[in-house]
Structure 1
Amino acid sequence: MTEWIYTVLIIALLGLAAGSFLNVCIYRIPVGESIVAPPSHCPVCQTRLKTPDLIPVLSYFFLKGRCRYCQTPISPRYALVEALTAILFIMVLYKFGVEAALVKYLFATALIITVTFIDLDHFIIPNGLVLTGIIAGLAFLPITGEFSVLNAFLGILSASGFLLFLYIVSRGGMGIGDIKLAAVIGVFLGWPMSLFAVILACFIAGLVGIALLLTGLKKRKDPIPFGPFLAFATFATFMWGQDMVRLYQKIVLSY
């Protein structure tokens, strides 16, 4: 029991540290800046941040949400991303335990968090993240042994092919970046769960879109980034996908 508590604490701290790094990626990658240099600094006064300014979550509250040097308000989203990453990392630990698959899905979680916030901010899914995801997904195949390279390839074809079909039918209503992201999903989830994740994303996006239209928060022609829905559906699928499929089959067979 004590060993498990220590493991949870380590993963939580890892999640907080990873979340801090993801904030750098979310801010810098879309504008073409290096994620390595220069060191973390205030985007307004450009002052290099010191260690006390970089403590995940806590520094935001210690500084009362303002830059120590120029008093510019700090977005609470920095702390949100750090806390969210830690929480999701702990959830993944509970799901997979201390196994090889844990590293794979922690990486996937970090990737989809990054994609989510970049797409929300800029309506893009950077090619660098897509390429990184595909390479990492392929590298994890022999380590986890969950499925074969052929299965991963079928996952790519089914997930990306489905969104490509929607792209053609909707005449560009679906973004090319989403089709590329589906390839990453295919590598990580394989066939048929990658297709399940993409269909689930479409279903959730449809419900949210209808709700936004009915509440007047969005108009019919207002763009809505699809990346966050793909990210959420991917996380839900590798966490509870098999359970959702069994529940669906149980409901269908009951009729």
Structure 2
Amino acid sequence: MNAASLPGGTFLALLGVLGLLIGSFLNVVVHRVPLGLSIASPGSACPACGDPVRPRDNVPVVSWLLLRGRCRGCAEPISVRYPLVELSTGLVFVLAGWRFGVSAYTLGAVVVLAAGVAHFLIDLEHQRLPFPITGVAACGALAALGLDAALNGPDVLWPAVASAGVWLAVYGGIWLGTAGRGMGLGDVALAPVLGLLLGWLGWGPSLVGLGAGFVIGGLVGVALIASGRVGRRARVPHGPFLLSGAVLGMFAGASLWEGYLGVVGLT
């Protein structure tokens, strides 16, 4: 898929605002989904005093700054994680819009990236990748891919589907080969969704993203063991590495793949 021409500042600003709002919602998702709680009700409240969050105190980033990181009712500190999640989501939305322009791919990318932010934090804290979040990402990616095929022809479908199959085969094979000790089913379920999104861009981004997840995981694992923070048999969640590799493949995979081919003399 060819990226659309660079969009104007208005489009990027709208994406940024959307990302901030989605990031605010992701804070609810990250807290409630692992606990099996509804993300729709009740409304957000201070975990210390139970006071409902007022609409004026629920503006992404701005409210946290104006309240100086404390609850209006009881003055208990509000974690800096909340505005950081909002800012991070806004940033990746803007980067997707800048890189891929006004396109069906951007639509699919922002859905998967938003789900990825939630998955990243949940896996770090709970060592699981909830299937409902993966399902939302899969539906968003498939709907956007279908839209792209309807607008530009079906040729985009087959590389994306084949890439998803490769990612599923690799992660499913590891899961089967290690009897589930190497990674969880959540990783296996998420892998083809990321493979679909990257294969949509081409085999270079897909293969770079696939390999990068394992490289990043290996490097971080060695660093953690060398620093004494974890033991050799400690279970480190793989989801953040899987997602980090996919993001690298999405935004830099084509260039890295071309550079690799140049080094080995295949171009």
TM-score, length basis structure 2: 0.87
The offset of 1:147, in angstroms, is 5.2
Segments of structure 1 that go 5 or more residues without pairing to the other structure are: none
Contact kept, 8 Å, 1:158 with 1:195, in 2: the verdict is no
Q: Find the aligned partners of 2:50 and 2:160 in 1 and give their Cα distance.
A: 44
- Look up the equivalent residue of 2:36 and give its one-letter code: G
Range with greater deviation from structure 2 (150-159 or 9-18):
150-159
Match of 1:176 among 185, 199, 210: 185
Q: Call closer, same or farther: CA 1:73–1:164 in 2, change over 3 Å.
A: same
User: What residue number does 2:87 align with?
Assistant: 83
Q: Call closer, same or farther: CA 1:80–1:37 in 2, change over 3 Å.
A: same
User: What residue number does 1:188 align with?
Assistant: 197
Question: How do residues 34-49 of structure 1 correspond to structure 2 at under 5 angstroms?
Answer: 34-49=38-53
Q: Find the aligned partners of 1:151 and 1:33 in 2 and give their Cα distance.
A: 38
TM-score, length basis structure 1: 0.91
- Look up the equivalent residue of 2:191 and give its one-letter code: A
User: What residue number does 2:106 align with?
Assistant: 102
Q: Call closer, same or farther: CA 1:8–1:137 in 2, change over 3 Å.
A: closer
Q: Find the aligned partners of 1:151 and 1:9 in 2 and give their Cα distance.
A: 32
- Look up the equivalent residue of 1:183 and give its one-letter code: P
Contact kept, 8 Å, 1:19 with 1:86, in 2: the verdict is yes
Q: Call closer, same or farther: CA 1:254–1:141 in 2, change over 3 Å.
A: closer
Identity over the aligned pairs, expressed in percent?
Answer: 33
- Look up the equivalent residue of 1:176 and give its one-letter code: L
Deviations for 1:100-145, whole angstroms, at most 9, x for unmatched residues? 2221111121111111011111101011112222222221222123
Contact kept, 8 Å, 2:109 with 2:141, in 1: the verdict is no
User: What residue number does 1:215 align with?
Assistant: 227
Segments of structure 2 that go 5 or more residues without pairing to the other structure are: 1-6
User: Cα RMSD over matched residues?
Assistant: 2.1
User: What residue number does 1:242 align with?
Assistant: 254
Contact kept, 8 Å, 2:123 with 2:240, in 1: the verdict is yes
Q: Find the aligned partners of 2:9 and 2:197 in 1 and give their Cα distance.
A: 28
Question: How do residues 1-255 of structure 1 correspond to structure 2 at under 5 angstroms?
Answer: 4-145=8-149, 148-171=156-179, 172-190=181-199, 192=203, 193-253=205-265
